[in-house]
């Protein structure tokens, strides 16, 4: 085989391997993110009592904590596709969404309308937000705004992920540029899973990610 053919064959092989790696990395973009229930440990496996809020904001007979957790699961069951868009309706009205939409829908299922609540807090404490001009349709869908809002209104909890009894399904966890709902599932060390929507290439909406991240900025509970 000539030198030229060897070079061409090598280039083709490299291109095929590269293409294969890209397809493998992006496979969940094409086949979709899984909303299947996670098979993992639970509070009872570590002698931790399930937390139930004393508040039932929407009066449906289900406490806030349970409502928020179930609301997160109901939302991911719709298999939203990750895409950042502006909506004049505030809440997305199609199959798309981002991390903040998961949290907003989880809280709305418990009777908390983040679109209205964040707008009210911004107008009351504009100096605390990095906003030039409030926009009710998008402000509640920005992680930086939710950091400020939850710091103002929610119950702050530990960010030590190994203080496992303090992490309960239905809590809110905030990262540097991301946000999610704490799952009631745990890994073998008792560290909580997170229900979140991070990117179009995500394998599952409910994942064991806390130990792999070093950018947790907040951990909150809506009501006691």
Written as tens digits, the pLDDT of the chain (224 aa) is 566 555 665 566 665 555 444 444 444 444 357 766 678 999 999 999 999 999 999 999 999 999 999 999 999 999 999 999 999 999 999 999 999 999 999 999 999 999 999 999 999 999 999 999 999 999 999 999 999 999 999 999 999 999 999 999 999 999 999 999 999 999 999 999 999 999 999 999 999 999 999 999 999 999 99
The answer to whether the pTM exceeds 0.85 is: yes
Helix 64-76 vs helix 99-108: crossing angle, to nearest 10: 130
DSSP calls for 38-55? P--B-GGGGTPPPP--S-
Task: Please give the structure tokens belonging to residue 113.
Answer: 């309308």
Taking alpha carbons only, the member of 210, 214, 186 closest to residue 196 is 210
């Amino acid at each position: 085989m000539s030198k030229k053919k060897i070079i061409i064959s090598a280039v083709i092989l490299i291109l095929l391997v590269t293409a294969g790696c890209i397809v493998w990395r992006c496979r969940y973009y094409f086949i979709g993110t899984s909303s299947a229930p996670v098979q993992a440990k639970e509070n009872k496996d570590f002698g931790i009592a399930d937390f139930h809020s004393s508040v039932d904001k929407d009066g449906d007979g289900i406490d806030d904590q349970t409502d928020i957790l179930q609301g997160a699961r109901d939302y991911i069951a719709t298999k939203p596709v990750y895409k950042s868009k502006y909506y004049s309706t505030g809440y997305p009205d199609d199959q798309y969404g981002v991390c903040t939409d998961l949290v907003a829908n989880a809280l709305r299922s418990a009777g908390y309308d983040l679109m209205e609540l964040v707008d009210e807090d911004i107008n009351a404490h504009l100096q605390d937000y990095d906003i030039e001009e409030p926009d009710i349709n998008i402000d509640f869908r920005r992680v930086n705004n939710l950091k400020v809002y939850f710091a103002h209104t929610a119950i702050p909890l530990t960010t030590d992920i190994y203080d496992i009894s303090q992490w309960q399904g239905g809590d809110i966890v905030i990262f540097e540029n991301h946000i999610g709902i704490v799952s009631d599932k745990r890994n073998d060390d008792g560290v909580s899973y997170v229900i979140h929507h991070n990117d179009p290439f995500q394998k599952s909406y409910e994942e064991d990610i806390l130990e792999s991240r070093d950018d947790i900025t907040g951990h909150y509970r809506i009501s006691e």
